[in-house]
Amino acid sequence: MTIKKELYQAGAFKDFFAQGVRVENTLYIAGQVGSDADGNTPDDLEQQVTNAYQGVISVLKEFGATMDNVVDETWFVTDVAEVMAKVGPVFVARQKIYGKIPEVAQTLVGVTALVSPKYKVEIKCIAHL
């Protein structure tokens, strides 16, 4: 059985993986990191979270979706203690991105490293279209 997929490939690694893959009414979004649109990566965790979500929003738009379509998210973080120490402001930033208290399942995973040492967070989502 062949699965019909719709791909969105962009960025420096577009020849290696897709930023988004749609299979029927499910959209799988590749992990988005804390750099802004110009490629700058702040040291601030809150801003990295905001930047990562901007990446998620960009992929969602390619499929005609919004943050309201997100049903599951996984955060990969290099310092769980930092996230927990800043959980209030970080989750306020998250709520601003969603425009409300998010109605999603969420998992927080501590990792030893991400693709670059400057990144503190990578956010991967699944959306229902």
Residue 37 confidence (pLDDT): 87
Residue 99 confidence (pLDDT): 97
Count: domains in the chain: 1
Q: Which residue range(s) make up the domain with 72?
A: 5-128
Neighbours of 90 (CB within 10 A): 21
CATH number of residue 79's parent domain: 3.30.1330.40
pLDDT by residue for the chain (129 residues), tens digit each?
889 999 999 988 889 999 999 999 999 999 999 999 899 999 999 999 999 999 999 999 999 999 999 999 999 999 999 999 999 999 999 999 999 999 999 999 999 999 999 999 999 999 999
